[in-house]
Amino acid sequence: MSIIKNIKGKLLLCISIMLFSSYTLAEVSVIVNSGNGATISDDDVSRIFLGKIKAFSTGDTITIVNLKYNNATRNEFEEKVLNKKASQVKAYWSKLMFSGKGKPPKELANDKAILAFVAANPGAIGYVAKASVDGSVKVVKTF
């Protein structure tokens, strides 16, 4: 009987963790260089990160920067903003590369590297965990 109680207890704990973790997903902030005055809609963000928009509304060329593949913030961004799983985004860019129609965005290791790159490059756009944002960049959207 105690084995059954132990199994029930572990099962209840696992279910509780799964339910709780779905509510603790971090917010993701889309960032641009602090001097960027472009207007960017939610739809624009998705289209930019899929390589469909190549210039900001100001006319400046866009340089996209991504976090490394399977980074938790990247996964969150791709699911919330692109409505795709990491494997779907990877396949999307592979298809564009194979057909000669596109090249995937540069990938950087962490939020700190993304912040530094965007702060140093006027046409850059990236995303980081909302908690990582500092005064070196401008937040254009939070998801």
Would you state the pLDDT for residue 122? 97
Q: Residue 61 and residue 137: Cα distance in Å, rounded?
A: 17
The torsion angles phi and psi of 34, rounded to 5 degrees, stand at: -60, -20
Would you state the pLDDT for residue 6? 53
Examine the pLDDT at 85 and tell me if it is beyond 70. yes
Q: Residue 92 and residue 120: Cα distance in Å, rounded?
A: 28
Mean pLDDT of 74-91: 97
Q: Is the CB of residue 66 less than 8 Å from the CB of residue 51?
A: no
- The chain-wide mean pLDDT, for the chain, equals 88
Examine the pLDDT at 1 and tell me if it is beyond 70. no
Would you state the pLDDT for residue 65? 98
Instruction: Tell me the percentage of the chain whose pLDDT exceeds 70.
Output: 83
Radius of gyration of the chain (CA): 19
Q: Which domains, and CATH codes, for the chain?
A: 27-142 (3.40.190.10)
The torsion angles phi and psi of 49, rounded to 5 degrees, stand at: -75, -10
Q: What is the pLDDT of residues 26-81, one digit of tens each?
A: 899 999 999 999 999 999 999 999 999 999 999 999 999 999 999 999 999 999 99
